[in-house]
């Protein structure tokens, strides 16, 4: 709304989900997914993060 951004790097999605509008998921420095909060629930995002941890890949 104000044209400002904040980058918050964390391994704990529960800390950032309430405050974020957009999520970029990295694995070893590689972007594996980008999500808009209005399009994905916390549960869905956690499931995708679990997939990355297990396989290194994400299905969007």
Determine the structural domain holding residue 50 and report its residue range.
13-55
| pLDDT value of residue 39 | 97
How far is Cα 49 from Cα 43, in angstroms, rounded to an integer? 10
How far is Cα 45 from Cα 25, in angstroms, rounded to an integer? 10
- Give the torsion through C-alpha atoms of 24, 27, 31, 35, to 10 deg: -30
How far is Cα 50 from Cα 12, in angstroms, rounded to an integer? 12
Within a domain: 1: no
Neighbours of 33 (CB within 10 A): 19
Within a domain: 44: yes
The total number of structural domains in the chain stands at 1
pLDDT at 14 over 90: yes
Residue-wise pLDDT tens digits, 18-54? 999 999 988 888 898 999 999 999 999 999 888 888 8
pTM of this structure: 0.75
């Amino acid at each position: 709304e104000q044209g400002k951004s904040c980058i918050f790097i964390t391994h704990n999605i529960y800390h950032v989900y309430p405050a974020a509008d957009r999520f970029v998921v990295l694995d070893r420095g590689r972007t594996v997914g980008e999500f808009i909060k209005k399009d994905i629930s916390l549960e869905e995002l956690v499931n995708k993060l679990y997939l990355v941890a297990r396989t290194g890949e994400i299905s969007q």
